[in-house]
Amino acid sequence: MDELQQWVNKDAVYLISAVLFIVGIKMLSSPESAALGNYLSALAMVLAVGVTLLQGGITDFRWIAIGMAIGAIIGFAASRLVKMTAMPQMVAIYNGLGGAASALVAISEFLRLQGQLAPFLTIVILLSLFVGTLTLSGSLVAFAKLQELVSGQPVVFPLQHPINLLGILGALGCGVWLVFHPGGMEYFWIVAGVALVLGVLVVIPIGGADMPVVIALLNSYSGIAVSLTGFVLENNVLIISGSLVGASGIFLTTEMCKAMNRSIWNVLFGGFGLTAEGAPAPATEIPGGGAVKSYSVEDAVTIMENSSSVVFVPGYGMAAARAQHQVRELGDALEARGIDVKYAIHPVAGRMPGHMNVLLAEANVPYDLLKDMDEINDEFKHTDVALVIGANDVVNPAANEDPSSPIYGMPILNVEQSRHVMVLKRSMNPGFAGIENMLFYRENTLMVFGDARATLSKMVDAISQD
């Protein structure tokens, strides 16, 4: 043990570890190399933590061992038990835990070095505490919304922005005081408390369909918190891996915002889906007196059987109904009849980036059939049937045509260009944003009402009976 300790250079191992993290993420650029990339990243983690245990000057390993065992058991069980439809919630919780770990280390360092902190160190400890705590409470609210423990609707209250601003200024004041008077524990706790409350206040006004942006942003915060911890501990591997996570979160956040044609400020502070008075957005005038064509499962199947190409367009409704396996069965049944089947995925379909892809992969849909919006949008005009399963705003043609619509300018899947559009829907209730979907009233659109999962099962049965 002693020989091993002398022989291993801690900083060299940290360097190898940082390189492996980067290579691991780089290998996520293709589904073929991604799994190996994940193993390399895990190896990087084992190396970094291993060398810290070996050379960190730690004398008492008992508590560490107990903590690691508890964490490993919980992590293992969670990774086995979580349903793929619940991945957004799981990522939300992990963001929160990352933030919590950073905040706890910051508190522990502050206690250890109390009264003898250099100004720069005080600043990074406070930032690490603030960002970590905010990430924790914000992520818990995001989790509660995704798990539907609280309403997914935006919750707005008067003086929202002034209260938030007051909190930030208060925390800033305490921080400045602490830089000049190191050791004022009560001010330190005030900063933590403000961050805890702010995390709740910032996430609670954001609606369910905007959760992809929020999760990505909190993901980024958890990475920034790790980087700040790296500054506190003067450890480069933490700075590097934290900044990778931070960059990833920011990248995904901007991608999601682009896909909704909204700015990050509008998502965070817009209270989307509510007008200034807090009432639902007014309904637009509906052509044709609001009549939709409702079809039976059998009639819908007849149309599909007589087509040569079908594109599935899944949305959050597919996840909510856990219908991904039925989608795949229907796809297989159609393919067996020589019909060309593809899957069109909008970047913000579902509750987190890539949500639909993972669900369809779970149902064993080959990934070469999963098409991004840019790949598939030109194909709809040559498509016989676009089958919309629980998607709403991402296929609303108002985004292209109606400048008065709140979603005008948002890039959408151009399903309305297909010869037939079939919409599987529970009822005529408008989507999250309360925006009427003109697609449902189109000449070439037919609705099949009912639970998506049950409807799809009936469709599969109807096809195999012939």
Partner 1 sequence: MVSVFLIGIYVFVLSVFVGFEIISKVPPMLHTPLMSGTNAISGITLVGAVLAAGKGESNLAIGLGIAAVICGMINVVGGYMVTNRMLQMFRKKKEAGQSNG
Does residue 159 sit in helix, strand or coil? coil
User: Toward partner 1, which CB reaches closer, 66 or 166?
Assistant: 66
The encoded tokens of residue 18 equal 């940082």
Mark 121-139 as b/e (b = at least 16 C-beta within 10 Å): bbbbbbbbbbbbbbbbbbb
Nearest approach, Cβ of 429 to partner 1 (angstroms)? Answer: 27
CB atoms < 10 A from the CB of 207, how many?
22
What sign has the CA pseudo-torsion 343, 347, 351, 355?
positive
Nearest approach, Cβ of 443 to partner 1 (angstroms)? Answer: 32
Alpha helices in 316-436 (DSSP H): 316-320, 324-336, 355-362, 373-376, 398-401
Q: Which residue type is seen at 76?
A: F
| Catalytic site residue from 60, 332, 368, 393 | 393
User: Toward partner 1, which CB reaches closer, 155 or 360?
Assistant: 360
Contact 22, 244 (CB under 8 A): yes
Does residue 67 sit in helix, strand or coil? helix
The encoded tokens of residue 132 equal 């970590």
Nearest approach, Cβ of 262 to partner 1 (angstroms)? Answer: 18
CB atoms < 10 A from the CB of 230, how many?
21
Strand-pair partners of 446 = 422
Nearest approach, Cβ of 29 to partner 1 (angstroms)? Answer: 4
Residue 372: active-site member: no
Query: CA-CA distance, 74 to 76, in Å (whole number)?
Result: 6
The encoded tokens of residue 156 equal 């707005």
Nearest approach, Cβ of 69 to partner 1 (angstroms)? Answer: 8
User: Toward partner 1, which CB reaches closer, 71 or 280?
Assistant: 71
Query: CA-CA distance, 100 to 137, in Å (whole number)?
Result: 9
User: Toward partner 1, which CB reaches closer, 244 or 398?
Assistant: 244
Nearest approach, Cβ of 309 to partner 1 (angstroms)? Answer: 17
User: Toward partner 1, which CB reaches closer, 240 or 459?
Assistant: 240
Does residue 389 sit in helix, strand or coil? strand
User: Toward partner 1, which CB reaches closer, 222 or 396?
Assistant: 222
Nearest approach, Cβ of 66 to partner 1 (angstroms)? Answer: 7
Contact 432, 393 (CB under 8 A): yes
Does residue 42 sit in helix, strand or coil? helix
What sign has the CA pseudo-torsion 83, 87, 89, 90?
positive
User: Toward partner 1, which CB reaches closer, 88 or 430?
Assistant: 88
Query: CA-CA distance, 199 to 220, in Å (whole number)?
Result: 14
Nearest approach, Cβ of 5 to partner 1 (angstroms)? Answer: 15
| Nearest to 214, CA basis, from 280, 160, 141, 155 | 141
User: DSSP assignment of 46-79, as one string?
Assistant: HHHHHHHHHHS-----HHHHHHHHHHHHHHHHHH
Which amino acids are annotated catalytic?
Answer: 393
